[in-house]
């Protein structure tokens, strides 16, 4: 499952960015990053894009779902299911595995905040930590059907990869499910398990099948390993060619028979 390498880098990028914003001090490693004051902002692209440090007790983009303990346990279970689902679909199209790797990396990144940050920064017990958010885009307010939508919620890198993963599945579902449908429609061949990658490689082109003469031939004449037809060169034959070397009849005891026209059988009459 090489896509787990992508998951690993997503988690690393997410945690480094959060520790830079929140700050961390590890004396024996010589690390001392002061971080940003809580709710402070730094302009990156004018007022449109800013780094604003806040902490979110809920889900991605500030969404709330039950209590903190429930949310932490729910995230742990969801992460375990994602790992299992990714392993189960390890032979599926790369686009699906890539999407799952993004979602898994984002889930683990936010899970670390909830489980450990309260203890690391000494403000809450395990599973009661708050997620660090800092990516702040100041979109103009807009109204849809009489309801006003304000600026986009502040989020983090983990949220970005979770969203990208779901978007890949949403817009790439046609390719994913076309691959599944193609596998299900493969004909079963006696002696060959259906729906296997090896058989897919035997397809002459996408959507077409191998010749029926080959698939339906169950005789012993078809030798796959040596399928090319070989011609036997013509050879002169003699009377001795049909005698087996192990035969009881020895060639030395065979009377020399001449086929010459000069020799004739004498007339006994």
List active site positions.
133, 159
The encoded tokens of residue 218 equal 């169950």
Q: How far is CA 116 from CA 25, 86, 159, 182, in A?
A: 15, 25, 18, 45
Check if the beta carbon of residue 4 is closer than 8 Å to that of residue 84: no
Distance of CA 162 to the CA centre of its chain: 17
Check if the beta carbon of residue 119 is closer than 8 Å to that of residue 24: no
- Rounded to an integer, what distance in angstroms lies between the CA atom of residue 242 and that of residue 232? 17
The encoded tokens of residue 95 equal 């686009």
The pairing of strands 131-137 and 49-56 is antiparallel
The encoded tokens of residue 30 equal 């010589």
């Amino acid at each position: 499952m090489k896509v787990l390498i992508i998951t690993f880098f997503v988690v690393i990028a997410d945690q480094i960015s959060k520790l830079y914003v929140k700050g961390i001090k590890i004396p024996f490693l010589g690390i001392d990053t002061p971080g940003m004051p809580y709710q402070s902002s730094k302009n990156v692209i004018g007022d449109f894009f800013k780094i604003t440090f806040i902490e979110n007790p809920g889900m991605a983009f500030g969404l709330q779902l039950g209590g903190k303990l429930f949310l932490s346990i729910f995230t742990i279970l969801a992460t375990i299911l994602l790992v299992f689902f990714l392993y189960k679909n390890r032979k599926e199209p790369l686009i699906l595995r890539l999407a799952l790797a993004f979602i898994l990396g984002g889930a683990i990144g936010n899970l670390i905040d909830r489980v450990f940050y309260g203890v690391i920064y000494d403000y809450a017990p395990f599973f009661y930590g708050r997620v660090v958010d800092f990516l702040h885009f100041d979109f103009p307010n807009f109204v849809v059907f009489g309801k006003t939508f304000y600026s986009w919620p502040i989020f983090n890198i983990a949220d970005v990869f979770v969203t990208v993963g779901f978007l890949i599945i949403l817009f790439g579902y046609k390719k994913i499910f076309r691959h599944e449908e193609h596998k299900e429609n493969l004909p079963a061949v006696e002696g060959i398990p259906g729906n296997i990658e090896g058989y897919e490689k035997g397809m002459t082109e996408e959507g077409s099948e191998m010749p029926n003469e080959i698939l339906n031939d169950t005789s012993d004449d078809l030798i796959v390993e040596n399928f090319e037809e070989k011609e036997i060169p013509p050879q002169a034959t003699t009377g001795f060619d049909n005698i087996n070397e192990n035969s009881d009849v020895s060639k030395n005891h065979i009377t020399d028979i001449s086929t010459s026209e000069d020799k004739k059988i004498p007339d006994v009459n």
